[in-house]
Structure 1
Amino acid sequence: MAQVQTNPRGIPTSPFVERVEDYVSDAEPVEVVLKKFQEAISKYKFMEMNMLQRRKILEEKIPEIQKTLSTVEFLMEKKDGDDDTPTMETEFELNDTLYARAKIEPSGTVYLWLGANVMLEYTLEEAQDLLASKLGTAKLSLSNAIEDLDFLRDQITTMEVNTARVYNWDVKQRRLAKAQEGSA
């Protein structure tokens, strides 16, 4: 049995139908082959839809991580600085449209939301390392998602071309069969 080729993340490569006769036989008539191709197209489109959602989430998440990382770096600068007044006045978001003013004294620690209503305290250095790592991972995931979307679009196009080739071959075979019946 031939091994199915995949991309680096395991998405199978669609075959290109050069000779329709290799795919259509008495055991696998045209209707069965067309149905398999349509199923493959549906699977690729489902994967594409999921990958588009993943890309959208990552595109929203990356700026958020960058913003948090720059805030942590700013706090590190303030803590290490020789200011006479280390207290900072800032506004922070309570809700989408509600902000509050606060005076902050850099303490050397920050609290980060990890998700699922979990917040942990980190030193500034730990927070910087964690956020830099998360940012790198998110950027790599985004790059992979974009690459996979291009790959999926190519596979969908290939399967649509395959479907058209098999359908056109079937139409041609039916016309030849009618022509032979008419001349007999």
Structure 2
Amino acid sequence: MEEKVKTCEPKKKPEVTKKSEDEPKEGSGADGATKPHMGIPPAHFVEDVDAFMALPENGGNADKVLKKFDEQHSKYKFMEFNLTAKKKRLKNQIPDFQKSIDMIQVLAAQKNKKKDLDTQFLLAEQLYMKATIPPTDKVLLWLGANVMLEYELEEAMNLLKKNLGAAKKSLEIIENDLDFLRDQFTTTEVNRARVFNWDVKRNKKEKA
């Protein structure tokens, strides 16, 4: 999300609070307990393969169990894809928030000096235009979805700092979830290999 200072006459903002779409939402189960790691199901290590394969839901059917592991692995890959996309968006948003905060600090300093500010603004990619900004106590922020609202400088600064903090927190959560997912990948792959080897040994015994 990129916020830019504009000089057009704005509409007054409504009292609306909007959360970033990339902010992780904590899931909750039927008992109201919070699910860790965005509801990512943990992969449990199969320590005793014989006992695991003897479970009623497995019934000694290696093909069935291997298929379950493959499906589980595919689900983890899908989750990884979504989290990686969110991480990329957040890493792009964070510098934009910081640049907007820096710009508001400059505007606040110029307001106190009561001097015009000569600057350049991005008109298109690789194209900038010169502009003169008179002292002001208001800015317009892009909120996304073609929505622009007017804020007092202090109010805009507080909002941007809040959004920056939320984006950093969300990024940290997503990075932790990706680390957790990598562990689940490893556990699932190890479980699959152990069941596959168990099936190979069983087939050799049956043929002997």
- Normalising to structure 1: TM-score of the pair? 0.89
Larger Rg: 1
Question: Which ranges of 4 or more aligned residues in structure 1 deviate by more than 3 Å?
Answer: none
Aligned AA (2:184): Q
Equivalenced residue count is: 172
Range with greater deviation from structure 2 (20-29 or 116-125): 20-29
Alpha-carbon shift at residue 134 of structure 1 (Å): 0.4
Does residue 75 of the first structure (1) align with residue 107 of the second (2)? yes
Alpha-carbon shift at residue 78 of structure 1 (Å): 1.6
Number of the residue aligned with 1:157:
186
Does residue 33 of the first structure (1) align with residue 65 of the second (2)? yes
Please, which runs of 5 or more residues in structure 2 have no aligned partner?
1-34
**CA distance 1:22–1:7, shift in 2 (3 Å):** farther
Does residue 123 of the first structure (1) align with residue 152 of the second (2)? yes
Number of the residue aligned with 1:3:
none
**1:69 and 1:88 mapped to 2: Cα distance?**
16
Number of the residue aligned with 2:174:
145
The DSSP-based 3-state class of the residue aligned with 2:42 is coil
The DSSP-based 3-state class of the residue aligned with 2:38 is coil
The DSSP-based 3-state class of the residue aligned with 1:113 is strand
Say which structure is richer in helix: 1
Please, which runs of 5 or more residues in structure 1 have no aligned partner?
1-5, 180-184
Question: What percent of counterpart residues are identical?
Answer: 49
**CA distance 1:8–1:149, shift in 2 (3 Å):** closer
Number of the residue aligned with 2:126:
97
Number of the residue aligned with 1:53:
85
**CA distance 1:64–1:27, shift in 2 (3 Å):** closer
Aligned AA (1:61): Q
Please provide the CA RMSD for this pair.
Answer: 1.6
- Normalising to structure 2: TM-score of the pair? 0.79
The DSSP-based 3-state class of the residue aligned with 1:23 is helix
**2:168 and 2:152 mapped to 1: Cα distance?**
24
Alpha-carbon shift at residue 27 of structure 1 (Å): 5.4
